[in-house]
Amino acid sequence: MGSVGIIANPAAGKDIRRLVAQGRFVPNHEKVNVLKRVLAGLDAVGVETVVFMPDSAQLGRGALDGENYGLDVEFVEMSIFHAEEDSTRAAAAMREAGVGCLITLGGDGTNRVVAKGCGDVPIMPISTGTNNVFPSMIEGTVAGMAAGQLANGAVDPDLATTRSARLELLIDGDLHDIALVDLAVSTERFVGARAIWDIDTLHEVFLCRAEPVNIGISAIGAQLHPIPLGTPEGLRIRFGTATESVLAPVAPGMVREVGIESWEVLAPGQLRGVNLRPGTIALDGERSLSLTGDHEVAVRVSTDGPRVVDVDRTLASAVAARRAEADAR
């Protein structure tokens, strides 16, 4: 039977937005509880092997404590540096090991770095972070069952998954990094606490996901031009002298009237330069790069994002396949 990889981020759900907004705090013991439910779902549908990323909080080992699953459990043999690159390296190792699906526990930032290493392995993202758009608030048992059915080959991957778009950050013409939801250009000069929480510092924003149910930066774009998962286009919004405004939930418990100077829809491959100096670039809500010097910086929308598990379609397809098999007997 199939194998599934699990990457759980112990740092997700604990950033500065707990102080400046009403973001929920997700303790590690709750993440362990979610993982226990995920394992129960995987076990129930007959997954043979689960591969965990090791982490400083021992989340994977905590999920195994006191349980008796019929699963072979392995941990990726790798050094942990307590950096986002750990998740990228773990995802690449799981891809090379042949896992059929990769379950993530974390936020948009966690999934961004996983997507850099997972290749074409589908991601089943479970939300445990803040302002999340890419991962879903889904019961771990159900998520495990869906990931397991996909990994076991019980459903067609083309039917069970949706290809995500992504934003590509280019420096001097070379691909430097990616984002799965938003790329924000901020007037803040330093990376600092990383999380983008002050909307007044935004200079411009690029989006490849924006739906009215979202919260955070993408919620602004959703009021202008909604972009659901699987849509091969993006959005660029510039702030400054407002020509119109939208009301958007920009953080948990924080609804703002946001002034818009201009906006445009971007087709795949369209390049737009970033000219602000000095400043910072935030990828999926976290400042990652300072803008200094004369480097040429540009952004484009790409259709080369990761495949994302559609839980509803996956489980419905598995039920239909079982019924067809039963009727044929």
Q: What's residue 67's pLDDT? A: 87
**d(Cα 42, Cα 19) in Å, to the nearest integer?**
36
Tokens of 272: 């737009």
State residue 198's pLDDT score: 81
Domains defined for the chain, CATH in brackets: 3-164+306-328 (3.40.50), 166-302 (2.60.200)
Per-run averaged pLDDT (10 residues), the chain, 329 residues: 93 56 74 97 98 95 93 96 92 98 95 98 90 91 98 95 98 97 92 72 97 94 97 96 95 93 98 95 92 93 98 95 85
Per-residue pLDDT, 18:
45
- What confidence score (pLDDT) does residue 14 get? 53
Q: What is the pLDDT of residues 5-38, one digit of tens each?
A: 999 998 875 555 544 455 566 889 999 999 999 9
Distance of alpha carbon 183 from alpha carbon 211, whole angstroms: 16
User: Cα separation of 133 and 63, whole Å?
Assistant: 26
What torsion, rounded to 10 degrees, do the Cα atoms 252, 254, 255, 260 define? -100
Dist CA 85 CA 17 (whole Å): 23
CA dihedral 290, 296, 300, 303 (to 10 degrees): -90
Strand 101-106 relative to strand 3-8, pairing: parallel
Spell out the residues 6+ positions from residue 14 whose beta carbon is closer than 8 angstroms to its own.
Answer: 25, 26
